[in-house]
Amino acid sequence: MFEAVSIASRGSARVLVLGQFKGEKLDTNSKKLDVSGAAASAAERAESTGDLGSIAEGFPAEGHERVIVVGLGERDGFVPSRLRTAAGAVARALSKAKAVSADLAVHAALARLPKSAKVDLHACGSAMGEGLGIASWNYDTLRGSATAEKDRTKLALHCDDAKFKGGLTRGLGLAEGTNIARTLSQTPPNIATPMWIAGEAKKMARKAGLKCTVFQGKKLEDERFTGLLEVGKASENKPCMVRLEYTPTRGKTKDPVVLVGKTITYDSGGLSIKISGGMRGMKRDKDGGCAIFGAMHSIATVIKPNRPVVALLMCAENSISDEAYRPDDVIEFRNGVTVEVTNTDAEGRLVLADGLCWACEKESPAAIVDMATLTGGVVVALGSTYAGMWCDDDGLRATLDDAAQASDERVWRLPHHPEYRQLMRSPIADIHNSAPVRQAHPIQGAAFLSYFVEDGIPWAHVDIAGTHSTDKESGPFIAGPTGFGARLVSEMVERF
Ligand code: BES
Ligand code: ZN
Ligand code: ZN
């Protein structure tokens, strides 16, 4: 794909990109831009179905060198999110053509939608920018001497509609956050250790204008970060908490939104070791934290909300040695809650517990959102279509639902109930980290976490174990990490 995608400030583009609705010819607005008629005839060819993401190309005798007509699906029910998929197809066609510049004029087709469709060209531009940016991601840094180097082109985007163009800029910024999350996710566990994540966070914070503090060693002990210390103690790669802080230009006039991310750089299961097939891919057990890391970049560079945002990345490696924590250990958290460890593979909730306690006690949060690859059970329940979401605060939940719709990072509500909290009671300590019954595993996780959130603080838990990666190409994504959550959280913070 491309080395970089940016918005051009001047000059002209070699490729023209137009949109076409399913079963329709090229619309009159797009025809005006299609001086030679090459797009109109491409749009009438059999392959130009107008199905979402269909591509037909034409070669004008004058003006642009090439025109790409992308399908937008049925006119009825058009939503901006479709443009992420369309953008994925456009990006692949542009890359195949080795294009260096493109005139994005998809908005010409959208301008004719009825007013009742309420299609906002800024939101359309954002979705298009997100799709183009996401489709351009690649991870080649670990290719060695046995792989031939690819020559990648830089793509410059032109657009003559101010609203759509403003959206494109925003979308590219959101895609950058998503791509930062994907690159971190993809980084193997022998490189991406907790302290490596901390180093990357410091670099990012310096560039984006965020404050970054790393809690490690004695500080973790002094502040009783029990989960991080216990989960992380078997590994020579020591645990840490990374605290990132965004402050609006007007200063700290409001309480912050606090984001807490599970950042397990490798989950072997610990002494409750995973079976071999279940361990592969557990470098991605850091993806909750990675999504929040990427979101903080987008928040600082494009969202710039009028409210402080604090991120707590709970980083540890769940490994095995004679120093490992064990099933049967009882540990006590900062808020006084005692936990009987029944399964060292239910480690995510232990490190999140530290972050939730800290957030409630120290950050004066207006709301807390935690994000984690917490349970295999959520994959069974929702697949990769929705993340599981637990949130009993109506306002926060409405904000998250809106953000999910805007980002197309979907969340589905699952329940809290006193009976689930009861399920987590231990016969010897306050609670255990995994109940002896194989019931409602994702809900058990949420119920466990609820013991570490003070009453009255709006809180949402998002389990992304099914959505953080994809095993096949889908929309603008290639197989691999999706960065799920980076855009959801950015959109949520913008609306809060
Ligand atoms: N990291 C895993 C959850 C996971 C599974 C993430 C699949 C991504 C894909 C988590 O730490 C874990 O092992 N959870 C256990 C919990 C159980 C022991 C209560 C699980 O889901 O089996
Ligand atoms: Zn685990
Ligand atoms: Zn885990």
Give me the mean pLDDT over the 351-361 stretch. 99
The pLDDT, as a whole number, for residue 115 is 78
Taking a 5 Å cut-off on Cβ, the residues next to ion ligand 2 are 267, 345, 347
Choose the residue to mutate in 340, 341, 374, 462 for probing ligand 1, maximizing ligand atoms within 8 Å of C-beta. 374
Ligand 1 test: best mutation among 264, 283, 375, 441, most atoms within 8 Å of CB? 375
Sign of CA dihedral 182, 188, 189, 193: negative
- pLDDT above 90 as % of the chain: 95
Measured by CA distance, the residue closest to atom 13 of ligand 1 is 345
pLDDT at residue 434, rounded to an integer: 98
Q: Which atom of ligand 1 is nearest to the CA of 442?
A: 21
- Looking at the CA of 374, name the nearest ligand: 1
Q: What is the pLDDT of residue 29?
A: 96
pLDDT grade, residue 236 (50/70/90)?
very high
Quick one: pLDDT at residue 453? Answer: 99
Q: What is the pLDDT of residues 191-208, one digit of tens each?
A: 999 999 999 999 999 999
Burial label for 113, CB within 10 Å (0-12, 13-18, 19+), is middle
φ/ψ (deg, to 5) at 279 = -85, -35
Asked if residue 288 lies in contact with residue 263, where contact means CB atoms within 8 angstroms, the answer is yes
Query: What distance in angstroms lies between residue 318's CA and the mean position of ligand 1's atoms?
Result: 12
Q: Which residues contact 76 (CB under 8 A, 6 or more apart)?
A: none
Task: Tell me if residue 304 falls in helix, strand or coil.
Answer: coil
| Ligand 1: nearest atom to the Cα of 348 | 11
Q: Which residues surround ligand 3, an ion (CB under 5 A)?
A: 264, 267, 285, 348
Ligand 1 atom with the smallest distance to the CA of 269 is: 13
CA–centroid distance, residue 126 to ligand 3 (Å): 33
> How does DSSP assign 345-391, residue by residue?
T--HHHHHHHHHHHHHHHS--SEEEEEE---HHHHHHHTTT-EEEE-
**pLDDT confidence of 212, banded at 50, 70, 90?**
very high
pLDDT one-digit tens code per residue, 253-294: 999 999 999 999 999 999 999 998 999 999 999 999 999 999
Mutation to probe ligand 1, out of 345, 349, 350 (largest number of atoms < 8 A from CB):
345
pLDDT given at position 218: 98
Q: What is the mean pLDDT of the chain?
A: 97
Which residue's C-alpha comes closest to atom 22 of ligand 1? 376
pLDDT for the residue numbered 196: 98
Give the per-residue pLDDT at 317: 99
Q: Could you tell me the distance, in angstroms and rounded to a whole number, from the CA of residue 442 to the centre of ligand 1? A: 9
What's the CA-to-centroid distance between 472 and ligand 3, angstroms?
23
Q: Which two tokens stand for residue 417?
A: 């109930």
Q: What angle do CA 442, 404, 466 make, to 5 degrees?
A: 35
Nearest CA to ligand 1 atom 17: 346
Q: What is the pLDDT of residues 84-102, one digit of tens each?
A: 999 999 999 999 999 999 9
Over residues 106-113, the mean pLDDT reads: 90
Residues 6 or more apart in contact with residue 322 via CB below 8 angstroms? none
CA of 229 to the centre of ligand 3 (A): 15
Write the residue with the smallest CA distance to atom 16 of ligand 1: 346
If we measure between CA atoms, which residue out of 180, 103, 94 comes closest to residue 137?
180
Q: Enumerate the active-site residues.
A: 274, 349
Note the pLDDT tens digit of each residue in 112-125.
Answer: 787 777 789 999 99
Per the structure block, which two tokens stand in for 309?
């945002």
Distance (Å) from CA 28 to ligand 2 centroid: 56
Please state the pTM of the whole predicted model: 0.98
- 292-314: string of b/e by CB count within 10 Å (b at 16+)? bbbbbbbbbbbbebebbbbbbbb
pLDDT of residue 116: 76
**Ligand 1 atom at minimum distance from 373 CA:** 6
- Domain 2-169 carries which CATH code? 3.40.220.10
Per the listing, tokens 């060292």 go with 344
Contact 75, 94 (CB under 8 A): no
CATH assignment, 187-495: 3.40.630.10
Residue 443, SS3? helix
How many Å lie between the centroid of ligand 1 and the Cα of residue 5? 36
Q: What average pLDDT does the segment 445-463 reach?
A: 99
Q: Which residues pair with 241 in a beta bridge?
A: 215, 314
- Is pLDDT larger for residue 117 or for residue 367? 367
CA-CA-CA-CA torsion for 183, 188, 189, 191, nearest 10 degrees? -80
CB contact at 8 A, 376 and 285: no
Write out the two tokens for 342: 């029944």
The Cα 153–Cα 138 span in angstroms is 13
Residues 320-344: what's their mean pLDDT?
Answer: 98
Nearest to 234 by CA among 196, 261, 273: 273
Cα–Cα separations (whole angstroms), residue 280 to 267, 319, 324, 442: 9, 14, 21, 21
Give the residue carrying structure tokens 């491409």: 42
CB-defined site of ligand 1, < 6 Å: 267, 285, 343, 345-348, 373, 375-377, 379, 434, 441, 465
Domain edges within the chain: 2-169, 187-495
Residues β-bridged to residue 371: 261, 462
Of ligand 1's listed atoms, the one at least distance from the Cα of 468 is 8
For residue 445, give the ligand nearest its CA: 1
Work out whether strand 469-470 and strand 480-481 pair parallel, antiparallel, or are unpaired: antiparallel
pLDDT of res. 276: 83
The predicted model gives 62-79 an average pLDDT of: 95
pLDDT for the residue 429: 98
**29-66 pLDDT, tens per residue?**
999 999 999 999 999 999 999 999 999 999 999 899 99
154-172: average pLDDT: 97
127 C-alpha to ligand 3 centroid (Å): 31
Ligand nearest to the CA of 263: 3
How much is the CA Rg of the chain, to the nearest whole Å? Answer: 24
**Which amino acid residue places its CA nearest to atom 8 of ligand 1?**
465
